[in-house]
Amino acid sequence: MLFTAVVTREEKFYVAFAPDVDVASQGETIEKALVNLKEALELYFEDDDAIRPPLTEKPIITLVEASP
């Protein structure tokens, strides 16, 4: 399955978040954060009670600038 991954920098670590299933992980690099997120997703789906999101088209993710 494909999941959306949002990666942000928080102090010394990168945080990778899969909003489709509300699972997150972190790492010292973007690549490590994504590897850790993949592992966290695999562990999440080992649970029989894990919520499986419906299959949808790939999301469009972009930035929008707004004045404060």
**pLDDT, mean of residues 54-60:** 73
Residue that wins the pLDDT comparison between 54 and 48: 48
pLDDT interval class at 55 (50, 70, 90)? low
pLDDT, one tens digit per residue, over 20-52 is: 889 999 999 999 999 999 999 999 999 878 777
Query: At the topology level of CATH, where does 1-68 sit?
Result: Double Stranded RNA Binding Domain (3.30.160)
Q: Flag whether the pTM goes above 0.75.
A: yes
Tokens 């690549």 belong to 31
Alpha carbon separation from 12 to 8, 27, 28, 31, 63 (Å, rounded) = 11, 9, 7, 14, 23
Residue extents of the structural domains in the chain: 1-68
